[in-house]
Structure 1
Amino acid sequence: MPDPARIAARDEALTVLAFGAHPDDLDFGAAGTIAAWVAAGADVHYAIMTDGDAGGFDPSHRGEIVAMRRDEQRAAAARVGVREVHFLGYRDGYLEPSHEVRREVVRLIRRVRPGVVLAMHPERNWTSLQMSHPDHLACGEAVTRAVYPAAENPYAYPELEDSGLEAYRVPWLWLYGAPEERINHAVDVTSHVEAKLEAIRVHLSQHPDIAATERYVRTRLETTAAAAGLAAGTSAEAFHVVAVNARETIAGF
């Protein structure tokens, strides 16, 4: 499993393709782990599926909200060392795991060829319905369907194969925002909490009370660490990790 500490001990470079439904989703859900991966030498790409055009709280921002949120996401990504952000440009609140969306996800997976695909969880979390925005669920479902079987099937979306984007088998799928019963892995992000918070602070169009937001995030990270059995005073992010094409995987099973 590609933990940050283990990446640093290997010669091979890890590439991560991280999907969020909206600008700021990755910063709340996984930026500590992403910062740790980058610090260990990984190359991380962000893919933001919608423009976040239904977000914000200030009516005066409506005409410029898309550009504002893209700028915020680029700046937030830079805070944790991510240099490339892909914007898929779908409408906020209208995301569906359609063939159009899945084809674009497959296109990006085949282009980047990541060792880890990171995405939002496709199952609803009834303990925190806010984590289960319909776009979040659609992000997770579209990415999961794209990872298997479409990305690795040369006969799925043959126009991609014809354009030179060859089929690719994703080794690992990491899902964030998972229901508690699905969590099977936690990453100690204690050394990267400040970077995560710096990334979150950038999204000023979304979070007018940044002090309250930071208190919430710190408490959640500490609670996650405690639930994972980590030492007191540590912080962690939790995931549902799926081995898609690990060594023991048999195609078709």
Structure 2
Amino acid sequence: MASDEPTAIAEPHEWRPDRFMVIVAHPDDADFGPAATAAKWIDAGSAGWLVCCTSGDQGGEDFAMDPFALAAIRESEQQAAATIVGYEGVSFLHQPDGALANDLALRELLVREIRTFRPDAVLATDPETLFHGDGGINHTDHREASMAAVDAVYPAARNPMAFPWLARDGLAPHVVRRLYCFWSNQPTARVDVTGTIGRKIDALRAHASQIRQPEKLEARIREWAREEGQAIGREAGEAFRVITIEDDPTDDMAPAGEGDGDQAANA
């Protein structure tokens, strides 16, 4: 989804995590979001994992459909889309669609996922996005999932005293180095996805229960990508608000201005 007022950025964002995790509320959120970036990173050698907090059982217009049947359809669609993008796997947390809450139970599930996969970067929607410019309201589940992801990343995933039974299960604390917030009204970086925007569209087409007019959707997705690409002089881009949580002094891939995180402020 294109940001409302793109900020001119001279160069594309080039840092790539070895391992990354995308955390979203619903099946298809990741494919509307950072799928082209995920595909690009995976093609370059990164390992990616997708976490869906709900199974999207309220995401339909057929009121006669059994919600459990819809959930099964949407999980199957997301699995197919994840294969197209190249994720190593998908976790469904089976939280209530339309009533997702950033509570201890959800954060524990997310911390378990983070400590298991041990990503360098986590991608989630921007928790500060309440409105999409003047054109829409961000879904409450998106806001809850993103805030839960932030709270799981810091401080819970790295804190040995948080959910201590996880450590007893062999899931040691883990430090996530960067947070990539998509659907942000204040992006700080854009990734050149010229070579993988087609994979994003193919992944979206896998969500047949949700996509009524695939050709119209493709045109919209390409237009959003074109707008973001213009800011970096590329044909297609995806925008993120990138938060550097912890630097790696041996990392020579950090672009200028992204290696100055003040860890004292995070104590």
User: TM (normalized to structure 1)?
Assistant: 0.89
1:6 deviates by 5.1
- Structure 1: runs of 5 or more not aligned: 8-12
> Which of 70, 88, 92 is 1:65 aligned to?
70
1:245 deviates by 1.4
Amino acid at match of 1:238: A
In structure 1, the partner of 2:224 is 220
Do structure 1's residue 142 and structure 2's residue 148 form an aligned pair?
yes
In structure 1, the partner of 2:43 is 39
SS of the residue 1:119 aligns to: strand
Which has more helix, going by share of residues? 1
In structure 1, the partner of 2:3 is none
Contact 1:51 1:87 in 2 (8 A): yes
1:56 deviates by 1.8
Amino acid at match of 2:50: Y
In structure 1, the partner of 2:116 is 111
CA displacement 1:109-167 (0-9 Å, x = unmatched): 11111011111111124216646100000011001011111111101111112222111
Aligned residues: 241
- Write the mapping of 1:1-253 to structure 2, written as runs, cut at 5 A: 7=16, 14-59=18-63, 61-63=65-67, 64-126=69-131, 127=133, 130=136, 132-179=138-185, 182-226=186-230, 228-231=231-234, 234-247=235-248, 249-250=262-263, 252-253=266-267
Structure 1: how far apart are the matches of 2:76 and 2:242? 30
1:208 deviates by 1.0
Contact 2:13 2:189 in 1 (8 A): no
Moved more, 150-159 or 116-125: 116-125
CA displacement 1:191-242 (0-9 Å, x = unmatched): 111111000001111111111111111111111222x2424xx011100110
SS of the residue 2:263 aligns to: coil
Identity among equivalent positions (%) equals 35
Compared CA separation, residues 208 and 61, structure 1 to 2 (3 A): farther
Structure 1: how far apart are the matches of 2:117 and 2:64? 37
